[in-house]
């Protein structure tokens, strides 16, 4: 994804991630990991089980703050390295230090953009760069959602035309296309 490439070129690190969370604050899985294949499905399951131990979980996921954070804003790296979350997940994927920002894309879609480094922490320049990128990242995800919705609606229309059926098409208050087959004339 070009968005991931833009983030990683501006803020270098060993890994860059977009993770999804549901409206209930539960981890719903990763959307993109860069480099690809960095994290196995088994490791994603471990992250899902232990994410509540993350030092920033309450701020980002439950309180839904809107700012870029570093793990060290909430605890020392030594404290973080003593957690099961670090030892069973981050240590295995090479995430010694982390910086993240929440992306409030839609009421039903909450994403975090996280980056990891092995040796050095993140600077104020890195934090400012991610803060400045945040509105553009949100727009990119919203645009992707819109394009996916248009694709789905186009496929629905194509199916109706291929079946040769008469249909009634309406648009609801959320601008979503509704197609119902019409029987009778």
pLDDT band at 130 (very low <50, low <70, confident <90, very high): very high
What would the pLDDT profile of 131-175 be if each residue is shown by its tens digit? Answer: 999 999 888 888 877 887 788 777 777 776 776 656 666 777 766
Structure tokens at 29: 């899985």
What would the pLDDT profile of 57-67 be if each residue is shown by its tens digit? Answer: 888 877 878 88
Q: Tell me the CA distances in angstroms from 116 to 87, 141, 178, one per residue in order.
A: 15, 21, 43
pLDDT band at 85 (very low <50, low <70, confident <90, very high): very high
**Is pLDDT above 70 for 91?**
yes
0.85 surpassed by pTM: no
All domains of the chain, ordered by start, with CATH? 2-146 (3.30.450.40), 152-181 (no CATH)
């Amino acid at each position: 994804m070009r968005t991931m490439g833009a983030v990683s070129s501006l803020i270098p690190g060993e890994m860059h991630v977009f993770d999804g969370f549901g409206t209930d604050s539960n981890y719903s899985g990763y959307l993109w990991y860069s480099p690809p294949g960095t994290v196995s499905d088994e490791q994603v399951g471990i992250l899902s089980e232990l994410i509540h131990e993350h030092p920033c979980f309450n701020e980002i996921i439950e309180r839904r703050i809107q700012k870029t954070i570093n793990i060290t804003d909430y605890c020392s790296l030594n404290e973080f390295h003593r957690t099961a979350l670090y030892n069973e997940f981050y240590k295995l994927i090479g995430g010694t230090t982390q910086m993240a920002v929440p992306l409030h894309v839609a009421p039903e879609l909450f994403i975090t953009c996280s980056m990891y480094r092995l040796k050095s922490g993140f600077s104020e320049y890195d934090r400012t760069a991610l803060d400045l990128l945040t509105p553009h990242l949100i727009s990119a995800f919203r645009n992707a959602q819109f394009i996916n919705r248009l694709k789905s609606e186009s496929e629905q229309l194509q199916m109706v035309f291929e079946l040769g059926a008469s249909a009634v098409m309406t648009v609801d208050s959320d601008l979503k296309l509704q197609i119902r087959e019409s029987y009778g004339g």
